[in-house]
């Protein structure tokens, strides 16, 4: 067990289940105190953090709301004194042909997936810059690089995340804060296993495109995220690391 994040406080959005649960567990094993922000109950994830020897705070939060994100920052500061590491994982991913996407659905996806980044960075970056240390990892998607159809609003939102990461990196690097994106393929979780992904054979199609011929699971990402949050990644910023079994070979 590494303790590379000992003394750090990591905030994970969407940490109640799926990939986010793998992140909070790994960060705790690596020594971080963990804040889990989610609209869903995070009891099971919190129990896993404690089992890994970590301290944990759970906060119910809709990250598309600037008011709720401000409250999230206050709670994290009250309990742990602040946030050193942000893992922005919360997102929605409806599958809808472009011709059937109305503007209300478009805005909802943008609000949850992209506007949330704006709210979180506005709240958390000032303290990171003041303390001259911080790590931000935003979860993007290889769909931006591979041009998957049927979810244009989702792909556009993740492209926006990548653009935001690249631009913000130029402004915060001198203050000792890094920001990067991680772009996975289709990951097998409770959520993706019960939806349209299996119905339309999307897991099999993903494996066919990948160089590594198996379905991606949350633990394939957890180590990457922990690395980017560590001192070992201090000279990496503004990058998008595609972790998708070799589907995208850029």
Task: State how far the Cα of 54 lies from the Cα of 207, in Å rounded to an integer.
Answer: 35
3-class secondary-structure state, position 155: helix
232: left (phi over 0), alpha (psi -120 to 50) or beta: alpha
DSSP class of residue 14? Answer: T
Nearest-CA neighbor of 89 among 174, 3, 189? 189
Q: Treating both helix axes as pointing N-terminal to C-terminal, what angle do 219-228 and 18-29 enclose, rounded to 10 degrees?
A: 50
Active site residues: 154
Instruction: Lay out the sheet containing 134-139: strands in order across.
Output: 56-60, 33-38, 9-13, 85-88, 134-139, 177-184, 240-243
Return the beta strands (E) in 45-168 as ranges: 56-60, 85-88, 134-139
Phi then psi for 240, rounded to 5 degrees?
-120, 115
């Amino acid at each position: 067990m590494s303790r590379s994040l000992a003394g750090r406080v990591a905030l994970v959005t969407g940490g109640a289940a799926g990939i986010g649960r793998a992140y909070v567990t790994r960060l705790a094993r690596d020594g971080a105190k963990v804040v889990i922000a989610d609209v869903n109950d995070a009891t099971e994830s919190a129990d896993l953090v404690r089992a890994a020897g970590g301290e944990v705070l759970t906060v119910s939060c809709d990250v598309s709301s600037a008011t709720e994100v401000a409250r999230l920052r206050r709670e994290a500061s009250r309990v742990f004194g602040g946030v050193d590491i942000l893992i922005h994982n919360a997102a929605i991913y409806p599958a809808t042909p472009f011709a059937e996407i109305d503007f209300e659905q478009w805005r909802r996806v943008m609000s949850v997936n992209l506007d949330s980044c704006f709210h979180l960075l506005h709240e958390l970056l000032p303290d990171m810059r003041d303390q001259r240390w911080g790590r931000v990892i935003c979860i993007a998607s290889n769909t931006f690089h591979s041009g998957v159809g049927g979810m244009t609003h989702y792909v556009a939102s993740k492209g926006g995340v990548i653009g935001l990461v690249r631009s913000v990196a130029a402004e915060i690097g001198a203050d000792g804060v890094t920001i990067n994106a991680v772009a996975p393929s289709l990951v097998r979780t409770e959520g993706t296993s019960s939806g349209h992904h299996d119905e339309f054979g999307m897991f099999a199609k993903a494996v066919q495109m990948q160089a590594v011929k198996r379905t991606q699971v949350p633990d394939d990402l957890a180590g990457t995220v922990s690395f980017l949050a560590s001192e070992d990644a201090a000279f990496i910023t503004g990058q998008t690391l595609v972790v998708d079994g070799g589907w995208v070979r850029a």
